[in-house]
Structure 1
């Protein structure tokens, strides 16, 4: 046991937090970072200029608290999402993780259960533990897919209070059909389950891939969460949001901290939304590289999953640690997600993608 761990264990920490490790990925100083699904294209100059101007205007009022209801931001987000949504349907926080945490604070807690279907986003159990919510897991098929029938059966058996459905799923990149969401929602009726559809990577989906936003009308227990970290290249700004019935956003007001979205955050997000077209043009470039990775990995004899995200999850790797290390030595950092025989890589710029594929071919050849 390390000295620091011994010091931690001497504190009166909650029993359910003892032995846990915080969420995180390696933060290494290498030229090509393809490990945490960031938007590798960055902000176009026109968007940088717009954000700078917007923040500068906000600075003059930093002696005052920000708009507690972030009215302009919610209006812009509703307009961006469409689907007949209004300001009353929108909520936002400091990254989608805070939004998910607020949902658990409102609808989870001691004596309640949250459920998801691993492999999926590794923050779900950490968010559950942080809010005193029991966490249970369902099963996926051997190819990591999840059918409507299987998901519904497992939800009926577990009777959770909250269900997480990640689509496109992290780390596999695969999208769920709306039939899965509908089946889980109906199966959760008996336990009055809140169903969260985490669409953090939705903008990267192939044309024609439906969004659970279509299912919101008439389903007061359904929540669709999104983020501006990925498609909008604002990972450093920390802005996540959701769409749901107005009564859900009212529930989150009961647990949010006062003035939780700073004036600077609101100004940044508003400026980015005003230039959504320029940012989404970069999304199309990323999708090209994503599809290129899938095609070339297949040619190399590997097994990439069909991806609707800005990353590719691939199997058929005999020695993932060797491949990961060999790429790192060439200045390319990808993600070992801890699944035997698999790795995950973010779709980078054309040059970054070429560097990854070139080095990977060398390692496989060796």
Structure 2
């Protein structure tokens, strides 16, 4: 039987492992940062109506420029900027900060990032990130043939201006990733760090804001930094806060000329008519889809309080998940939780596990299972490496 090793695979792909998270059928799944709430009824009704309306035209290719979707995404991002800046005046509404020609979208934010790396990285170029961070960043970079450079974050998983500038000037990367709120740690990065990174490089700076909707009131989106910065791109997704993971729609905002470069590498008609229709229907009901954000943030805070009460060190989180440290044996605790029907994530950080916020019942089940495990196995909490 032929094995992968016997095939003419690219040399730089040999020995690598694909992205993956354990898929286990348990009652409480809190491992991949999904939104715990089902898509609201008004959105599903709008989606069904929209799909029915276009079903007879599926013999035709979709709108290659996803014109309506870009307009709706730009409108949503402008509402984000207006909320951060306070009540918008008439002039601000008439002159939005984000125009449709600044928007790019693809099948999940991973494909958006892949397009960026295809266009602006690739063989002979490099991409830099601050780890630990989203595990797909190096995989996407390396899949395009780019060299991956990882610079460690501080002990508290933060990035300082001095650290970031030194890393960029030392390595001269063609692309720099800043994930904020950061996955898997949950903490955010101030805008002055992103500004300093941008000023220190001639390359592309990607700010991955997949979890921005869950952040606290002190969080400021890098969308604020786009004017006058043609090498900056801010990536977001509808998978998390919008409870739309199955629809696979990620998007980004950047200068129109940067977006033009992405057209050179995308596949023809990469966004199907069905995907565009689903996202358009969802964006017509943003309040319904985002209604669960406040509750998920509350459940995240419940987890933080409960975990700290048990003696774990919990990283302050602006995302819909928390990383808790001080676990004597993460693999063993992960297994014991699975035995009780709870699935969390071992992200490979020593002495740590990650759990995403769920419904009230799921949070209660997680904390109850943890309480029982700690009562039966007090050695679960130990002096693990941090």
* Band the TM-score falls in, shorter-chain normalisation: over 0.9
Matched, 1:135 2:148: yes
1:166-198 Cα distance to aligned partner (Å, 9 max, x none) = 00000000010001101111111xxx2100000
Asked whether 1:86 is paired with 2:96, we answer no
Q: Does 1:261 align with 2:271?
A: yes
User: Which 4+ stretches in 1 moved above 6 angstroms?
Assistant: none
- In structure 2, what is the Cα distance between the partners aligned to 1:357 and 1:148? 37
Question: What aligned pairs does 1:188-337 form with structure 2 within 5 A after superposition?
Answer: 188=201, 192-337=202-347
Aligned twin of 1:20: 16
Rounded Cα–Cα distance in structure 2 between residues aligned with 1:364 and 1:305? 20
User: Partner of 1:353 in structure 2?
Assistant: 363
- For residues 250-274 of structure 1, the C-alpha deviation after alignment (integer angstroms, 9 at most, x for no partner) is 1101111110000000000001100
Structure 1 partner of 2:184 = 171
Q: Distance in 1 between matches of 2:249 and 2:76?
A: 15
Q: Which residue of 2 aligns with 1:113?
A: 126
Deviations 1:48-98 (A, max 9, x none): 111111111121210000000000000000000004101011000000000
1:223-248 CA-partner distances (Å, limit 9, x unpaired): 00000000111111100000000001
Deviation of the 1:208 alpha carbon: 3.0
Corresponding residue SS for 1:185: helix
What SS is found at the alignment partner of 2:298? helix
Match of 2:242, SS state, is: coil
CA distance in 1, matches of 2:135, 2:218: 28
Q: Which runs of 5+ in 2 are unaligned?
A: 82-96, 377-386
Q: Which residue is 2:197 aligned to?
A: 184
Residue 148 of structure 2 aligns to a residue whose secondary structure is strand
CA distance in 2, matches of 1:340, 1:146: 19
Question: Which of 59, 69, 81 is matched with 1:73 structurally?
Answer: 69
TM-score (norm 2): 0.92
TM-score normalised according to structure 1 size = 0.97
Q: Provide the aligned C-alpha RMSD in A.
A: 0.9
- CA distance in 1 between counterparts of 2:166 and 2:35 reads 36
Q: Work out the CA distance in 2 between the residues paired with 1:255 and 1:29.
A: 38
| Structure 1 runs not aligned, ≥5 long | none
Deviations 1:335-365 (A, max 9, x none): 0011111000010000000000110111122
Distance (whole Å) between structure 2 residues aligned to residue 183 and residue 354 of structure 1: 42
Where does 1:138-153 land on structure 2 (aligned, <5 Å)? 138-153=151-166
Q: Secondary structure at the match of 2:61?
A: coil
